[in-house]
Amino acid sequence: MIEDFKGDEAWRMFRIISEFTEGFDKLSRIDCAVSIFGSARLPPDNEYYQKAEEISRRLAAEGFSIITGGGPGIMEAANKGAAGPDMPAGIKSIGLNISLPKEQMPNPYQNLTLEYRYFFVRKVMFVKHSMGYVCMPGGFGTLDEFFEALTLMQTMKIYPMPMVLFGTTFWQGLLDWLRGTLLANGTISEEDFDYITVTDNIDEIVTIMAEHRAWKNKMRAKSSDTGHD
């Protein structure tokens, strides 16, 4: 039994490595992408589904590829918005699908699809290949992605990137709790809130992402110039 367990662990390691390798390979050419998160349970007639589709369409029209978890609900809406025939050349509607016992049914609007067994590998792909997050109303999975990225920025493991919560009514209670409990007890700092933007304005999201892209390009050019000196 012990030897069998060791064998299972070894093969699990190889599966993990293969998921990282495939993800890095297939996403390596994605330059500017925004990840859109949200509930798998919201149907097409839901207001937030429709907003997610519009946000995605607007961002894709501005030259951003869109990354989602590949499933139904908000993920489907975001992939759908980026998959239209009138999108600029090279725009990808990316789905990072995960094997789950329920809810995860790959949506048909992905033109680049990856399959994952492990959540932690999938989260690395979101962070590594996104230059901004838009979190629509969602559940534990959405909160997991949101707080993972916040933690990495707070601890300076990744460069800051826009973290947008769309839907002030939905998210206000969480922000009130963060301030009233965590901040009040000194477990987070006031400046941590600088990472977060809460809005109901799609134009604001597009502007935030475009400005961040311009800043990244400027830093990239500066770094390149310094390297040549």
Query: Which residues, given as ranges, of the chain have pLDDT below 50?
Result: 1-5, 228-229
pTM of the model: 0.91
User: Is residue 98 within 8 Å of 69, Cβ to Cβ?
Assistant: yes
Residue 119 CB partners (closer than 8 Å, separation 6+): 98, 144
Q: Is residue 16 part of a domain?
A: no
C-alpha distances out from residue 48 to 2, 42, 137, 154, Å: 50, 8, 7, 28
Q: Is residue 7 a part of any domain in this protein? A: no
The HSE-up count of residue 98 (CA atoms within 13 Å, CB side) is: 18
For 82, the domain range is 30-228
Residue 192 zone, left/alpha/beta (φ > 0; ψ -120 to 50; rest)? alpha
Across 122-146, b (16+ Cβ under 10 Å) vs e yields bbbbbbebbbbbbbbbbeebbeebb
Specify if 190 maps to a domain: yes
CA angle at residue 141 from 62 to 134, to 5 degrees?
20
**Partner residues linked to 93 by β-bridges:** 66
What pLDDT is stored for residue 7 in this prediction? 56
pLDDT of residue 127: 94
> 202: closest CA among 22, 33, 47?
47
Q: What is the pLDDT of residue 209?
A: 98
- Residue 8: inside a domain: no
Assigned domain for 130 exists:
yes
pLDDT digit string (tens) for 160-192? 999 999 999 999 999 999 999 999 999 999 999
Return the CATH number at 166: 3.40.50.450
Radius of gyration of the chain measured on its C-alpha atoms:
18
Which pLDDT does position 106 carry in this prediction?
Answer: 86
- Please indicate, yes or no, if residue 19 is contained in any of the structural domains: no
pLDDT of 129: 94
Q: Domain total for the chain?
A: 1
Residue 129 · residue 27 · CB < 8 Å: yes
38 assigned to some structural domain: yes
Looking at residue 5, its pLDDT comes to 45
Query: Does any domain span residue 166?
Result: yes
